[in-house]
A and B are shown apart, each in its own frame.
Chain A
């Protein structure tokens, strides 16, 4: 950790101004990932701009029925929020199946989306990693890659995104609100995280100095049910080997609305558009669900150690979609 300047921002404008022209600056939210990476030497900021006290800590209902989640709402507060629990169980479940009670009390909505991969090669500055040091190679590609990606990876990076929250948000058609030197903009959550391609150092489409101010959750059609399920190495407090977030509305025996996303499989939350397309307008029989899930996972390219993820994700998705369509 380099000697650090520390600035506590009182407003979004002040935060952005403090960041301007300082590529070595980082916004500090809960810090649960950033401070860890600073200790590991992976992140080497010279300036920290503390945004944890910005007035972005509210969950509010908008007139159109959408929910606006402030960037600094803590994971535990979001998970326990009555409107979230009532309308978006998948989101609450995703949050609560991540990390620990202590971490959820500190980690923020924005920070969760911006957390870096837990790839062991990324976290060790002594090892090659294109995400950490572009051009240095990917240690995991031919190394120990049991935890790594099966979808959307490249020869440059096989890391996965570790968030549970982001997987639920992907299934919910959430929108990320950004503020920055060039003003504000919004990005669909499914477009916010990138695939690694040849520049895995860029996790997201966020621009230098930009700041997440909130996340918009559109209302779900009435009667939609949702669920998150995660498989892991330990009963609690472990990252997903694979996870599924899904929202489903069935009317008249036919799927009228569906959102499905996988976690633990790719460099970003993996929205399963093929699965959705296959089921939308159809009767969700177990066979149809299995076919629809297979349609998505057909694109999987497992690495040496992680072929299990494909069948694991398949069974998770079939179980989750099966239970939801039975309920709705």
Chain B
């Protein structure tokens, strides 16, 4: 590449790209410290009970086996506030797959065999792993994920619904979904005296450090965490997960560096999942489409050990004006693994249901679904009454309609047939909140003209190194190739995780502040820089997390064309197009990749992905990649991602909103709506596999 663009949003090539295409980029289990040995967990085969006895003798007799840690022998952990990390501390089995022992051996082969040779006897207790909408133990949580209230109501939604001229009362089901990043969760841990170093596959090294320090009762300075390259996470690496604790325990116990990677099928049970959600949506409208009542009720599961409630009714508090509303959650604590974040928790399943229901209402009204959304565009955030810092949903819908060729669409369902294929088109809106956290950063100007930006950001595939260099170059007024970014290891200025679509905004804000400060200092001085250069630092605590008087959200619109093979019920997405209003786009190249990636995951949610729990064992069925189908090349058409230029002065110095998650939001609804338009049949359970669609 010749010229180095440094204009805002320039499509600068990702800096770690070369290391990734040559195989040089190192991930958490690729460091091979001298003396490295291998850890292999033994998962529980029951859903609820206690370990009565654990016979490790056969395992220990195998050649190359160093140890088998159990709750009797493993080092003690302090409480770090996350029960999912309290592994090998007692004999309780809270769910299938919970680690009950950990084999450590000189080779992978010996470790696997040893883990399989551990004999475990359980005292089982009756378990319950089946979510139903009328589950007797369902309760209303006060708070759901993200700190949102469990229920909100305005006016008299039930009365308004009963009185509405046009009504839609529909139920949808989204199955458990699995993040399945391509790199399974893994870590390499080593102790030097009382200092712990881990190479971890995590979205945020500082959280891993703080948590490990608590668990092992160490000052944070004695824990180092390296997350140089991370093979995806999509929320499942947002906080430390048991693998890193197991690796650290085993390294402590054996005195050897321990490398441990979870098996693909173990990911479903140990690193979180998107909980299944059962939705009932009621929309009441006037004949002109104006909503008078919006009721979104969500029932979901959580585990017995840590409450996590997918906030799927929350986006309905943001999207549409309505005379009255109720958005509520009910949860059932089952004997299942603890659910957690998966790309756009809340929004992804919630907007599937809401945007499908809006489509159903449009059909009931005989109204174009875009016009119906426009008719219910709110003047301020419906739930809070706060003004939007910016909201360009209508512009996204209009721009998308023009690009997709929506105008002139025949709304009649089930009439476009070509051979066995029925085709249709669908639209859905997207939204995702603007989140941001405080971060620190430093920047150093060196005498040779190099600028070095330092902070413990994590690149999980977003291109953080690149976009942070662009932000720095902008703020410094220098060429982007004169900026180096150092991230991915604790000891660098503290930075929040890559999650909540907030990484770039949070880190970039601090980088921007530090660079502006440095630029001021440089402008004020004359003469050569000292040999060590000049450093400025920033900490956005108190600024980045200050309460905003505005409701801040990104918006978008998704358009899909689907074809349904009437011989088999197989659905193919032929076109997918997204238009986003997400503030200023900071790198057109890497942003496009993230938008498209989100849409691909939304396509999987619509068509191929779904976990199920085996009632007898409490295990996820289809827990490997042959049983749980993430979309492959052949499922994915050419995808277009566009954005509108959105200027919003109420965000951060870069004017950006998050882009990592909005691509999945509403995509499944757009595809489902297209399948309805194609077939005339409304399928309300995901995924749209032949067993459901073949009729």
Contact = CB atoms under 8 A, between A and B. Distances in A.
Nearest to B44: A126
Contacts of B632: 234-237
Interface stretch (B74-82, B394-402, B499-507, B617-625): B617-625
Interface in A121-172: 124-127, 139, 142-144, 146
Interface residues of A, number: 35
A312 B694 contact: yes
A311 interface: yes
Contacts of A234: 608, 629, 631-632, 634-635
Contacts of B608: 233-234
Nearest to B689: A233
Interface string B609-645: 0001011110101110011010111110000000000
**Residue among B617, B689, B691 with the most chain A CB within 10 A?**
B691
Nearest to A144: B621
Given A126-B45, A311-B694, A235 B635 contact: yes
B63 A126 contact: no
Contact of B629 (A1, A144, A238): A238
A306 B694 CA distance: 12
Main secondary structure of the interface of B (DSSP, over half): loop
A6 interface: no
A37 interface: no
Given A139-B616, A143-B614, A120 B694 contact: no
Given A127-B619, A144-B614, A146-B691, A315 B567 contact: yes
Contacts of B481: none
Nearest to B626: A118
Main secondary structure of the interface of A (DSSP, over half): loop
B192 to A, nearest CB: 33
B617 A127 contact: yes
B691 A241 contact: yes
Given A233-B608, A312-B568, A120 B621 contact: yes
A196 to B, nearest CB: 19
Contacts of B567: 231, 315-316, 319
Contacts of A236: 632-635
Given A231-B568, A231-B569, A312 B690 contact: yes
Nearest to B623: A120
Nearest to A118: B626
Interface stretch (B109-117, B220-228, B243-251, B656-664): B109-117
A174 to B, nearest CB: 26
A118 B116 CA distance: 21
Contact of A41 (B116, B631, B690): B116
Nearest to A312: B694
A63 to B, nearest CB: 41
B158 interface: no
Nearest to B109: A1
B255 interface: no
Given A231-B568, A308-B690, A124 B619 contact: yes
Nearest to A308: B691
A185 interface: no
A250 to B, nearest CB: 21
Given A1-B112, A146-B691, A239 B626 contact: yes
Contacts of A120: 614, 621-623, 627
What's the interface size class on B, roughly? 35 or more
A81 interface: no
A118 B616 CA distance: 19
Contacts of A319: 420, 567
Nearest to B627: A120
Interface in B662-695: 687, 689-692, 694-695
Contacts of B690: 231-233, 241, 308, 312
Contacts of B691: 146, 241, 305-306, 308-309, 312
Contacts of A183: none
A22 interface: no
B568 A316 contact: yes
Contacts of B692: 308
A155 B570 CA distance: 31
Contacts of B615: 143
A39 B112 contact: yes
A182 interface: no
Contact of A139 (B570, B614, B687): B614
B631 to A, nearest CB: 7
B572 interface: yes
Contacts of B568: 231, 312, 315-316
B611 to A, nearest CB: 10
A235 B634 contact: yes
A2 interface: yes
A142 B616 contact: yes
Nearest to A305: B691
A3 interface: yes
Contact of B617 (A1, A139, A309): A139
A124 to B, nearest CB: 7
Given A143-B614, A235-B634, A235-B635, A126 B619 contact: yes
A261 to B, nearest CB: 18
**Residue among A126, A233, A312 with the most chain B CB within 10 A?**
A233
Contacts of B109: 1
A3 B631 contact: no
Nearest to A2: B113
Interface string B36-80: 000000010100000000000000000100000000000000000
Nearest to A4: B109
Contact of A143 (B572, B621, B623, B631): B621
A283 to B, nearest CB: 22
Contacts of B116: 41, 125
Contacts of B45: 126-127
Contacts of A315: 567-568, 694
A305 B632 CA distance: 25
Nearest to B617: A127
Interface in B267-290: none
A9 to B, nearest CB: 23
Contacts of B621: 120, 143-144
Nearest to A311: B694
Contacts of B623: 120
Interface in A303-328: 305-306, 308-309, 311-312, 315-316, 319
Contact of A126 (B617, B629, B635): B617
B553 to A, nearest CB: 33
A3 B63 contact: yes
A238 B622 CA distance: 12
Contact of B616 (A2, A143, A233, A235): A143
Contacts of A306: 691
Q: Which 3 A-B pairs have the closest CB atoms?
A: A126-B45, A235-B634, A236-B634
25 contacts: A1-B109, A2-B113, A120-B614, A126-B617, A127-B614, A127-B619, A139-B614, A143-B614, A143-B617, A146-B691, A231-B567, A231-B568, A232-B570, A233-B608, A233-B687, A234-B608, A234-B629, A234-B631, A234-B632, A234-B635, A239-B626, A241-B690, A308-B694, A309-B691, A316-B567
Interface of A: 1-3, 39, 41, 118, 120, 124-127, 139, 142-144, 146, 231-239, 241, 305-306, 308-309, 311-312, 315-316, 319
Given A118-B627, A144-B622, A306-B691, 4 more contacts: A236-B634, A309-B691, A316-B568, A319-B567
